[in-house]
């Protein structure tokens, strides 16, 4: 042999990650229940427990604190659940897009009220400026699962305490009474002071109930000094949108949330009988996934939203 003797040291293969156990753990961590995870995965609770123990043995750490009737994540389990949930969500989304082979859409999740009263009347301007970006609007008030829902951008009405996403203030939402011009004319001058609201039907939005800092009729009437008006009388609607639409139809006076009534006020479908506005702890927030915010279509849409908000009267 003419050269030095070299020994080939075998490289130890990295153990294959137990993917089935990871999926089972993610479901159990999300529900904090082996029984609910089992129902979701169509297996038995014993099978869930077996997979979790397999993963714990693989990692050498405890992932759950097991109590008599419930389970809780350990600190190691909570850290792993966040990472695994994100990764599995990305995997599910990638597989779904590959399966359908559909062109990519910019998916926006927002509330029905905001979509109908603010976003939809303006969206044509975005399409005119960006004709190659296809926007899909999904409506709902519940917490948005950005990964499994496939959402890129969210707009929510809340206090802004969102976790795991990038959130920035989009629009403040002061509150004030609104009614139809026909209703105001029909009061024959009897709606000049806040106390005159006793002659009108008050329209209530139950989404303002028991939310600290969100004005309801009782707060506005107190601030206005209207001591002779029954703040609890009148029909209750399940959403801001429906209460304000009832006002447009002339059925009473609603508390309008500024961004949602701007177009109706400008076009004369609603009028503002009193000048008093109450500050609102809730506002409209722009929410983005961290991994999606650098995409050109997401950047273009968020920039357009900002421009639309800056052009408000």
Q: Residue 14's pLDDT is what?
A: 56
Residue 293 has pLDDT above 70, yes or no: no
How many beta carbons lie within 10 A of that of residue 99, not counting itself? 8
Q: What are the pLDDT digits (tens) for 132-183?
A: 899 999 887 665 565 556 778 889 898 888 777 788 999 999 999 999 999 9
Q: For residues 203 and 235, is the Cβ–Cβ distance under 8 A?
A: yes
Biggest distance spanned by C-alpha atoms of the chain = 113
- Kindly state the DSSP code that residue 186 receives in the 8-state scheme: H
Q: Residue 260's pLDDT is what?
A: 95
Helix (H) or strand (E) run with residue 181 in it? helix 181-186
Q: Residue 281's pLDDT is what?
A: 94
Q: What are the pLDDT digits (tens) for 20-64?
A: 888 888 888 888 888 888 888 888 888 888 989 988 888 989 999
How many beta carbons lie within 10 A of that of residue 16, not counting itself? 7
Domains and CATH numbers, the chain: 19-100 (1.10.10.10), 106-164+283-310 (3.40.190.10), 175-266 (3.40.190.10)
Residue 13 pLDDT class (50, 70, 90 cuts): low
Q: Work out the average pLDDT over 66-85.
A: 85
Q: Residue 1's pLDDT is what?
A: 47
Residue 101 has pLDDT above 70, yes or no: no
Residue 8 has pLDDT above 60, yes or no: no
Residue 282 has pLDDT above 90, yes or no: yes
pTM of the predicted model as reported, rounded to 2 decimal places: 0.68
Q: For residues 147 and 132, is the Cβ–Cβ distance under 8 A?
A: no
* Range of weakest confidence among 55-69, 87-101, 223-237: 87-101
Q: Residue 249's pLDDT is what?
A: 95
Q: For residues 278 and 231, is the Cβ–Cβ distance under 8 A?
A: no
d(CA 155, CA 239): 16
Q: What are the pLDDT digits (tens) for 226-280?
A: 989 999 999 999 888 999 999 999 999 999 999 999 999 999 999 999 999 999 9
What is the secondary structure of 72-125 as a DSSP string?
A: EE-HHHHHHHHHHHHHHHHHHHHHHHHHH-PPP-EEEEE-HHHIIIIITTTHHH
Q: Residue 191's pLDDT is what?
A: 83
Q: Apex CA 308: angle with CA 306 and CA 313, to 5°?
A: 120
Using DSSP, state whether 298 is helix, strand or coil: helix
């Amino acid at each position: 042999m003419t050269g030095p003797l070299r020994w080939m040291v075998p490289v130890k293969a990295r153990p294959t990650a137990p993917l089935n156990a990871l999926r089972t753990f993610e479901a159990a961590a999300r529900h904090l229940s082996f029984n609910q995870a089992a129902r979701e995965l169509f297996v038995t609770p014993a099978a869930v427990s077996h997979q979790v123990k397999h993963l714990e043995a693989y990692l050498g750490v405890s992932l759950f604190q097991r109590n008599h009737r419930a389970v809780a994540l350990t600190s190691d389990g909570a850290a792993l659940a966040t990472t695994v949930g994100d990764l599995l969500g990305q995997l599910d989304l990638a597989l779904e897009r590959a399966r359908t082979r559909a062109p990519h859409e910019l998916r926006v999740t927002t509330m029905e009220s905001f979509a109908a009263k603010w976003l939809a009347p303006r969206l044509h301007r975005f399409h005119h400026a960006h004709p190659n970006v296809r926007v899909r609007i999904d409506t709902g008030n519940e917490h948005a699962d950005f990964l499994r829902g496939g959402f890129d951008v969210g707009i929510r009405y809340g206090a802004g305490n969102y976790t795991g996403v990038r959130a920035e203030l989009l629009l403040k939402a002061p509150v004030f009474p609104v009614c139809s011009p026909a209703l105001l004319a029909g009061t024959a001058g009897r709606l000049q002071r806040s106390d005159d609201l006793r002659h009108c039907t008050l329209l209530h939005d139950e989404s303002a109930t028991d939310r600290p800092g969100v004005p309801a009729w009782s707060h506005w009437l107190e601030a206005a000094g209207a001591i002779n008006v029954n703040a609890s009388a009148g029909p209750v609607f399940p959403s801001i949108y429906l209460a304000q639409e009832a006002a447009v139809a002339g059925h009473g006076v609603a508390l309008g949330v500024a961004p949602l009534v701007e177009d109706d006020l400008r076009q004369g479908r609603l009028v503002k009988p009193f000048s008093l506005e109450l500050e609102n702890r809730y506002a409209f927030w722009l929410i983005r996934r961290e991994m999606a915010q650098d995409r050109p279509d997401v950047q273009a849409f968020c920039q357009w939203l900002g421009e639309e908000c800056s052009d408000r009267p």
